[in-house]
Chains A and B, each alone.
Chain A
Amino acid sequence: QEPLTVSMLAAAPLHKQKQMIGERLYPLIYNVHTQLAGKITGMLLEIDNSELLFMLESPESLNAKVEEALAVLHA
């Protein structure tokens, strides 16, 4: 699967952009947090698309955000 790019996203309508990012994000999160992957992905999709794209390329950033999301979920 080729990486998601800004231009690919820009060609899609706004709601579809989040969908496209979610489809990439979900499997990454599912690998680590199978039970909560749907909720964590839903939370992370509220982040700006530009940052989400960066997170898809940066496992460290993604993990940090996932941990933040988990902390909020458990609060």
Chain B
Amino acid sequence: GSSINWPPEFHPGVPWKGLQNI
């Protein structure tokens, strides 16, 4: 099925990937 991966989850200490496509 189509898994919706939103919202991206923030984890402290882990590089934020939510906006990597900018």
Main DSSP-derived SS at the A contact region: helix
B4 to chain A, nearest CB (A): 12
Main DSSP-derived SS at the B contact region: loop
- Interface size in chain B (residues, C-beta < 8 A): 13
A-B contact count (CB 8 A): 44
One of A25, A27, A37, A45 near B18 (C-beta < 8 A) = A45
Instruction: Say yes or no: A43 contacts B12, CB within 8 Å.
Output: no
A38 to chain B, nearest CB (A): 4
Q: Which residues between 1 and 22 of chain B lie within 8 Å of chain A, taking CB atoms?
A: 7-13, 15-16, 18-20, 22
Q: Could you list which residues of chain B lie within 8 angstroms of chain A, going by C-beta atoms?
A: 7-13, 15-16, 18-20, 22
